[in-house]
Amino acid sequence: MELGEEVARALGAGFDLTSDFRLRFAKLRRRLVDLNEAGARDVPVPGGGGAVLRGIPRDVGIDKGDRIRFRSDVLEFNQCHVSIARSSAGWGGRL
Protein backbone atom coordinates (compact mmCIF):
# COMPACT_ATOMS: atom_id res chain seq x y z
CA MET A 1 0.00 0.00 0.00
CA GLU A 2 1.31 3.44 -0.90
CA LEU A 3 1.79 6.13 1.75
CA GLY A 4 -1.03 8.32 0.41
CA GLU A 5 -3.51 5.45 0.56
CA GLU A 6 -2.31 4.56 4.06
CA VAL A 7 -2.87 8.16 5.15
CA ALA A 8 -6.38 8.17 3.66
CA ARG A 9 -7.24 4.95 5.53
CA ALA A 10 -6.05 6.48 8.81
CA LEU A 11 -8.37 9.52 8.50
CA GLY A 12 -10.66 9.60 11.50
CA ALA A 13 -8.87 6.72 13.21
CA GLY A 14 -7.84 6.83 16.84
CA PHE A 15 -4.35 6.48 18.23
CA ASP A 16 -3.12 4.95 21.46
CA LEU A 17 -1.56 7.86 23.32
CA THR A 18 0.71 5.50 25.24
CA SER A 19 2.12 4.14 22.00
CA ASP A 20 2.90 6.25 18.97
CA PHE A 21 1.30 8.58 16.43
CA ARG A 22 2.81 6.88 13.41
CA LEU A 23 0.36 5.51 10.86
CA ARG A 24 1.14 1.91 11.65
CA PHE A 25 -0.24 2.46 15.17
CA ALA A 26 -3.58 3.90 13.97
CA LYS A 27 -6.58 1.94 15.22
CA LEU A 28 -8.19 1.17 11.88
CA ARG A 29 -10.85 -1.24 13.13
CA ARG A 30 -13.29 1.51 14.06
CA ARG A 31 -13.02 5.19 13.18
CA LEU A 32 -13.71 7.97 15.66
CA VAL A 33 -15.24 10.01 12.83
CA ASP A 34 -17.83 8.51 10.48
CA LEU A 35 -16.97 8.99 6.83
CA ASN A 36 -19.38 8.21 4.01
CA GLU A 37 -17.31 5.81 1.96
CA ALA A 38 -20.17 4.89 -0.37
CA GLY A 39 -19.27 7.72 -2.74
CA ALA A 40 -15.51 7.26 -2.70
CA ARG A 41 -13.54 8.87 -5.50
CA ASP A 42 -10.03 8.87 -6.93
CA VAL A 43 -8.13 12.11 -6.39
CA PRO A 44 -5.08 13.21 -8.37
CA VAL A 45 -2.20 14.48 -6.22
CA PRO A 46 -1.26 18.05 -7.20
CA GLY A 47 2.35 18.06 -8.38
CA GLY A 48 2.48 14.30 -7.88
CA GLY A 49 3.51 13.44 -11.42
CA GLY A 50 0.24 11.67 -12.18
CA ALA A 51 -0.09 9.96 -8.78
CA VAL A 52 -3.65 9.24 -7.70
CA LEU A 53 -5.12 8.53 -4.26
CA ARG A 54 -7.79 5.87 -4.67
CA GLY A 55 -10.96 5.45 -2.63
CA ILE A 56 -11.05 8.86 -0.90
CA PRO A 57 -14.44 9.43 0.80
CA ARG A 58 -16.46 12.41 -0.48
CA ASP A 59 -16.54 13.77 3.10
CA VAL A 60 -12.79 14.45 2.89
CA GLY A 61 -12.07 17.91 1.51
CA ILE A 62 -9.00 18.29 -0.64
CA ASP A 63 -7.40 21.49 -1.85
CA LYS A 64 -4.10 22.53 -3.32
CA GLY A 65 -2.66 23.57 0.05
CA ASP A 66 -2.81 27.37 -0.20
CA ARG A 67 -4.05 27.59 3.37
CA ILE A 68 -1.07 25.99 5.06
CA ARG A 69 -0.34 27.53 8.44
CA PHE A 70 3.22 28.49 9.09
CA ARG A 71 2.45 29.60 12.62
CA SER A 72 0.22 28.21 15.32
CA ASP A 73 -2.69 30.18 16.75
CA VAL A 74 -1.99 28.73 20.19
CA LEU A 75 -1.10 31.34 22.78
CA GLU A 76 1.76 30.96 25.20
CA PHE A 77 0.80 30.78 28.89
CA ASN A 78 1.66 34.42 29.61
CA GLN A 79 -0.31 35.66 26.59
CA CYS A 80 -3.29 33.54 27.62
CA HIS A 81 -3.13 34.89 31.18
CA VAL A 82 -3.05 38.51 29.99
CA SER A 83 -5.94 37.90 27.59
CA ILE A 84 -8.12 36.35 30.31
CA ALA A 85 -7.22 39.07 32.81
CA ARG A 86 -8.13 41.80 30.31
CA SER A 87 -11.45 40.22 29.41
CA SER A 88 -12.44 39.68 33.06
CA ALA A 89 -11.42 43.20 34.11
CA GLY A 90 -14.19 44.70 31.98
CA TRP A 91 -14.11 48.03 30.17
CA GLY A 92 -11.39 50.32 31.40
CA GLY A 93 -9.76 47.64 33.52
CA ARG A 94 -6.02 47.75 34.05
CA LEU A 95 -3.40 45.09 34.45
Q: For 48-79, what is each residue's pLDDT tens digit?
A: 777 887 877 777 766 666 556 666 677 788 88
Angle of CA points 7, 9, 12, to nearest 5°: 95
Mean pLDDT for 1-11 is 66
Q: Assign 64 to helix, strand or coil.
A: coil
What does the pLDDT read at residue 54? 80
Taking the C-alpha atoms of residue 73 and residue 68, their distance in angstroms, rounded to an integer, is: 13
